[in-house]
Amino acid sequence: MLSQLSPAIRQYLVVTANYWAFTLTDGALRMLVVLHFHGLGYSPLDIALLFLFYEIFGVITNLLGGWLGAHWGLNRTMNIGLALQVVALSMLLVPPAWLTVAWVMAAQALSGIAKDLNKMSAKSAIKLLVPTDAQHQLYRWVAILTGSKNALKGVGFFLGGVLLMWLGFAGAVTAMALALTLVWLLSLLLLKQDLGKAAKTPAFRDVLSKSRAINILSAARLFLFAARDVWFVVALPVFLSQTLGWNHGQTGGFLALWVMGYGLVQGLAPRITGNTSGVVPDGQAVTVWAAGLTLLPGGIALGLLYGLDPAALLVVGLLLFGAVFAVNSSVHSFLIVSYARSDGVSLDVGFYYMSNAMGRLVGTLLSGWLFQLAGQGSAGLQACLWASLALLLLATVVSTRLPQYARRV
């Protein structure tokens, strides 16, 4: 049956399968690290620091990875990413006494490089597999790739919590490393050679975008993802575990369901924004959805301040935040692929996701620092939510400078 599909669709399926497999291990590993090291007595700031190199090297990788993808081909950068994730997982299989902050940070650095090589390669490849005059189809394919990835990241969160209870830290990491090794070997066999390799070898200075639209979209992306991670990465799971008394399975399961729902909405974003009627989104759509999102963290913070039931408030608030954020993120993902040049697409996509990684870095550090500075508990989570509101205001203001033209295709 697969042999009857077009070469472009077969490659899309290989790219998507690679992205799915990687995402499962990435989400599970993040939840494993947060819950395991919190259980060992690490402070919220210490846990945030464990991800410091993950985010820093994500910034560097996206910038350099786009250039490498244009030089070597996206098949090579994707397979290198898979291999590096196996190495990163293996680094965590040392005796427990060796799992110092520095060692885990080094493993997370490799994982950050691996994740962003894989992500940049997958998003760039879609541009090359869709005709330039089929923007509605490009939007659907990007939405499916992005939405399914995030749904599986949610499964990864749940998987991380469950595996930690069933197999322990070392057993869970071993299982993931073996499974991803098999995926990597299959990818070496199936992924097309020289996918995305630029016709003309780009100079290193070409890693910096020369497109005004891409620069503005990248800045908006930075603030958008910093606004999410400032309360989602460290403050939220620690609050659920420490203040509400949820166990690892409950915390991992709740966050898993949230991210799965978030991914589902991302996949449906083309329907929500009118793609079925032949209209693809523009900069105005980004601005409108960012402005709507701004109201939600402030509302959750006020609810906590006035003593509303925190569990019910967070469940409802997170559902609303996730739905609106998902549409905004999906529109972003489509626009960067649409704006990017076809020859050397990974240069533009890599630059954009460098800003995404920078936003995650800022959000992760602020999440641990503000939560601890404000005294943890409800006060700490409120501080992170107010910071999220401020960052979303910045994202909204920046987005108003994007090109605004509703295109019918």
Looking at residue 409, what is its pLDDT? Answer: 43
- Residue-wise pLDDT tens for the chain (409 aa)? 555 556 666 777 777 788 888 888 888 888 788 777 777 777 766 776 777 777 788 778 877 766 676 667 777 888 888 999 999 999 989 888 887 878 888 888 888 888 888 877 777 777 666 666 667 777 777 777 777 777 777 777 778 878 888 888 888 889 989 989 998 998 888 776 666 555 555 555 555 656 788 889 999 999 999 999 998 877 888 888 888 888 766 776 787 788 788 888 888 888 888 655 566 777 788 899 999 999 999 999 999 999 898 889 988 998 899 899 999 988 888 888 888 766 656 677 778 888 888 898 899 888 888 888 887 788 889 999 999 999 999 999 999 998 876 444 4
Domain ranges (residues) in the chain? 2-408
What single-letter DSSP state applies at residue 201?
Answer: P
Domain 2-408 annotated CATH 3.40.50.150:
no
Exposed/middle/buried for residue 7 (C-beta within 10 Å: 0-12, 13-18, 19+): exposed
CB 201 within 8 A of CB 343: no
137, two tokens: 């189809």
CB 87 within 8 A of CB 139: no
For the stretch 179-214, what's the b/e string if a residue is b when 16 or more beta carbons lie within 10 angstroms of its beta carbon? ebbebbeebeeebbeebbbbeeebeeebbebeeebb
- 165-169: which pairs have CB atoms within 8 A and are 24 or more residues apart? 165/248, 165/249, 169/32, 169/36, 169/92
Contacts of residue 23, Cβ cutoff 8 Å, sequence gap at least 6: 149, 150, 152, 153, 156
Closest of 230, 251, 254 to residue 241, by C-alpha? 251
Instruction: Give the whole-angstrom CA distance, residue 337 versus residue 330.
Output: 11
| Cα-trace Rg, the chain | 20
**Strand pairing partners for 352?**
none
Instruction: Give the whole-angstrom CA distance, residue 99 versus residue 173.
Output: 13
Closest of 362, 217, 332 to residue 269, by C-alpha? 332
Q: Which helix (H) or strand (E) holds 279?
A: strand 279-280
| pTM metric for this prediction | 0.77
